[in-house]
């Protein structure tokens, strides 16, 4: 099914030279040349259709798996955080727009006596980001519960797609080029609200006990290599607490890099590079990042 944009009048908000450190969980990075806050999906389709075909685009939710360099992003940022925030439940199907926080999805599903989405409470991002990287937590992965997705391309064309249109792997999703996620339909099972809410509380308690949740970080920085854990490899390399500038390897969880108010994106990027090099030197394993690095150096 395909629909083309039909209303040329834009209703969202366009901001120029917007500081991006406000919109990512490391709280670092330079400004966006321009940022658009869409009024709704149709407004976003109209906006994209009006952009030059070669305009660099960055889609931004909660910015929890993103490092924006100090020179900022010389293009257009589409802000989904606080936008595209509708969630609707129909029987066992949950229709979620890309800007809805994963934790909210987990809570609403539990309240509706649906089971299978509790793990989303451990993902510090939006559904759009979770779909883009097959985000997971506590043994669950996003695409295991996806029944269908809605995408949008540069021309403003909206498509309904089946999961079979995508190649999904651990923290990786490959699909049609230059299409972005607008929404998804999750398919869940009937469950018990009290039990599901208890499961969410247990997951959040476990997360708080094992991760530096009160400090600026992007969540897990590196992917777990097959048969091992990045945190174990980093800790075994003696890197807990290692610091470059305002960026530090967490002493609570070695796969989390945390920042101070004085940190720069360069500090974080340099620390990532140092950790990778040391783990490879000491453990013989080259870690791959979960975090995406975008933008220009200062």
Q: Return the active site residues.
A: 171, 220, 290
Residue 172's contacts (CB-CB under 8 Å, 6 or more residues apart) are 133, 134
What phi and psi values does residue 174 have, to the nearest 5 degrees? -120, 125
End-to-end C-alpha distance for the chain, whole angstroms: 44
84: left (phi > 0), else alpha (psi -120 to 50), else beta?
left
Question: CB of 184 within 8 A of CB of 148?
Answer: yes
Residues 2 and 16: their CA atoms lie apart, in Å, by 32
**CA 228 to the chain's CA centroid:** 23
- For residues 268 and 292, the answer to whether their CB atoms sit within 8 Å is no
Q: For residue 157, what is the enclosing H or E element? A: none
Q: Are 102 and 109 in contact (CB under 8 A)?
A: no
């Amino acid at each position: 099914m395909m629909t083309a944009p039909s209303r040329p009048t834009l209703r969202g908000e366009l901001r120029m030279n917007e500081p991006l450190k406000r919109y990512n969980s490391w709280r670092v990075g330079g400004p966006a040349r321009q940022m658009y806050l869409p009024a709704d999906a149709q407004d976003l389709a109209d906006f994209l259709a009006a952009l030059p075909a070669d305009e660099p685009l960055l889609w931004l939710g909660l910015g929890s798996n993103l490092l924006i360099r100090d020179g900022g992003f010389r293009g257009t940022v589409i802000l989904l955080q606080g936008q595209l925030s509708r969630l609707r439940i129909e029987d066992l199907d949950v229709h979620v727009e890309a800007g809805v926080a994963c934790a909210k999805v987990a809570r609403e599903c539990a309240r509706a006596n649906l089971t299978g989405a509790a793990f989303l409470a451990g993902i510090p991002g939006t559904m759009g980001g979770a779909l883009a990287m097959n985000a997971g937590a506590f043994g669950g992965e996003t695409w295991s519960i996806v029944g269908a997705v809605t995408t949008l391309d540069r021309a403003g064309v909206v498509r309904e797609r089946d999961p079979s249109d995508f190649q999904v792997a651990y923290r990786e999703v490959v699909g049609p080029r230059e299409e972005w996620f607008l929404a998804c339909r999750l398919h869940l099972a009937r469950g018990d609200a009290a039990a599901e809410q208890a499961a969410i509380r247990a997951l959040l308690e476990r997360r708080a006990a094992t991760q530096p949740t009160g400090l600026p970080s992007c969540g897990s920085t590196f992917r777990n290599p097959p048969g091992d854990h990045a945190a174990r490899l980093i800790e075994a390399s003696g890197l807990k607490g290692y610091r470059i500038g305002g960026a530090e390897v967490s002493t609570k969880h070695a796969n989390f890099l945390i920042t101070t108010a004085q940190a720069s994106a360069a500090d974080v990027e340099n620390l990532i590079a140092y950790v990778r090099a040391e783990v490879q030197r000491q453990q013989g394993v080259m870690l791959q990042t979960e975090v995406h690095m975008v933008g220009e150096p200062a």
